[in-house]
Amino acid sequence: MTSGVLTRLDLVVNIRFPGARAHGIQVASMAEALADTGLTVDVVVPRRFPALDVDPWKHYGVRRVFGVQRITSLDTIDLFPPRLQRLPFLLQATSFGWRALARAAYARAAGILVRDHYTLVTLAAGLREHDLQRLAAEVHDLPDTDGRRRRLARHLARLPAVVAITHALRDDLVALGVPAERILVAPDGVHLERFRDLPAAGAARRHLHLPDAPTVAYAGQFYPWKGVDTLVEAVGRVPDLQLLLVGGDRADLARVRDLAGRVAPGRVHFTGQVPYAAVPFHLSAAEVIALPNSGREVISARYTSPLKLFEALACRRAIVASDLPSLREVLRPDGNALLVAPDDPEALAGGLRALFADVARAARLADAARADAGRYDWSERGRAVAGFLRERLTVGPPR
């Protein structure tokens, strides 16, 4: 075998697959999109304990055009309560990294796109210099300490290709010494076909047994940096509105339910986790979709490229969002969204009042958002990333 062009790709990521988190949606969507460019793609993930008997292709609603390879790791994470999971996680991540390295050393005809920091460091440190030429990384954030950030950047600087999800993340990588010409900025995306022929808001509300009242919606996790608490407080200041919250883990649900009961009793409706395929219909029950990200954490202010952002664009609904660099990479003030100060319930409440009071403005923003969504279909991202990797990666042993 001789060195040659990229035809096979291992998408290596240390996550539960399938699972309830958005990163699994992103991985499955990208695997499908990359395979559609002609690459033979395998998603390489750990065997997790306890194992879930769920078909990942059906779970994520993607076509069976890529493979899933599970490798063993020392997984005892879920045997411990969350506050004691740090050490079991490090053990699991380290063992997964070593098994991924062994696979990489054996499957030398495949390029590798790795998505998590721990596995990247193991592969970059363990592969021979020639084999680094078939290793790429997709970066979604940076470590929270200077030492770990610099260590990660040193490994990234040795790679032929790095994919960053925002321009701000790219700029920080360049400042840390990663060559700019090796970085592709590729925001996340959306399956546009899932958002075609959505019902009117009133019809969707009737189907979901919601009161027929002006509605704002949010879909995603309820982590503090997502800003859901700010959104609930804002709705509490606009008495005519109701809020539909889709998603949220158990611990976060309890916190937000308590807040909603205090500031907007009876006007906040919780669905809990819903199948990914059901998200578009739930969002269609609202006239306005909110993206209330906090500006207090760098992942939210600069690095995030949230799937719910692109879902909101595709819904043809008016969007009100926090005015943050990460969201401004896609959203245009009063162009395709109304942007308001982050972490400010009164500013967000004012934005909601403005959109519900001016139907023509809301419709103009919704139409512009849907038009812009066409640039962010997963297929577009897949073609851009595949082209970049084909240009930059070299597979096989030395000539």
The pLDDT tens digits of the residues spanning 37-71 come to: 999 999 999 998 877 788 999 999 999 999 999 99
57 burial level (CB within 10 Å; 0-12, 13-18, 19+): middle
- List the one residue out of 236, 249, 189 whose CA is nearest residue 383: 189
Cα dihedral 184, 188, 194, 195 in deg (nearest 10): -110
Q: How confident is the model at residue 318 (pLDDT cuts 50, 70, 90)?
A: very high
> How do the residues of the chain divide into helix, strand and coil, expressed in percent and rounded to 5?
50, 15, 35
Architecture of domain 192-376: 3-Layer(aba) Sandwich (3.40)
Alpha-carbon dihedral angle through residues 73, 76, 77, 81, given to the nearest 10 degrees: 180
For residue 3, what are the contacts with CB-CB under 8 A and spacing of at least 6? 394, 395, 396, 397, 398, 399
Give the span between the Cα atoms of 100 and 119, in whole angstroms: 8
Query: What percentage of the chain exceeds 70 in pLDDT?
Result: 98
pLDDT recorded at residue 146: 94
pTM of the model: 0.93
Q: How far apart are CA 54 and CA 37, in angstroms?
A: 27
Phi-psi region of 39 (alpha: psi -120 to 50; beta: other; left: phi over 0): beta
**Residue of 43, 56, 63, 59 whose CA lies nearest to 116:** 43
If one counts every other C-beta atom within 10 angstroms of the C-beta of residue 150, the result is 13
Q: What is the mean pLDDT of the chain?
A: 94
CA 9, CA 14: separation in Å to the nearest integer?
16
What does the DSSP assignment read for 208-257? TT--SS-EEEEES---GGGTHHHHHHHHHT-TT-EEEEE---HHHHHHHH
Residues 6+ apart with CB under 8 A from 399: 2, 3
Q: Is the pLDDT of residue 2 over 60?
A: no
Q: Which of 99-108, 152-161, 207-216 has the lowest mean pLDDT?
A: 99-108
164 has pLDDT over 70 = yes
Pairing of strands 338-340, 318-322: parallel
- When the candidates are 3.40.710.10, 3.40.50.2000, 3.40.605.10, 3.20.20.70, the CATH number that belongs to 8-189+378-392 is 3.40.50.2000
111 near 10, Cβ under 8 Å?
Answer: yes
Q: Which of 81 and 358 is assigned the larger pLDDT?
A: 358
Listed residue (272, 324, 358, 299) closest to 144, CA to CA: 299
pLDDT of res. 148: 94
- Asked if 398 and 6 count as a contact pair (C-beta separation under 8 A), the reply is no
What's the mean pLDDT in 155-166?
97
DSSP H or E run through 120: helix 117-126
- Burial, 166: exposed, middle or buried (Cβ in 10 Å; 0-12, 13-18, 19+)? buried
Instruction: Spell out the residues 6+ positions from residue 180 whose beta carbon is closer than 8 angstroms to its own.
Output: 170, 174
Q: Is 8-189+378-392's fold the same as 192-376's? A: yes
State the burial class of residue 262 (Cβ atoms within 10 Å of its Cβ: 0-12, 13-18, 19+): exposed
Domain boundaries, given as residue ranges, for the chain: 8-189+378-392, 192-376
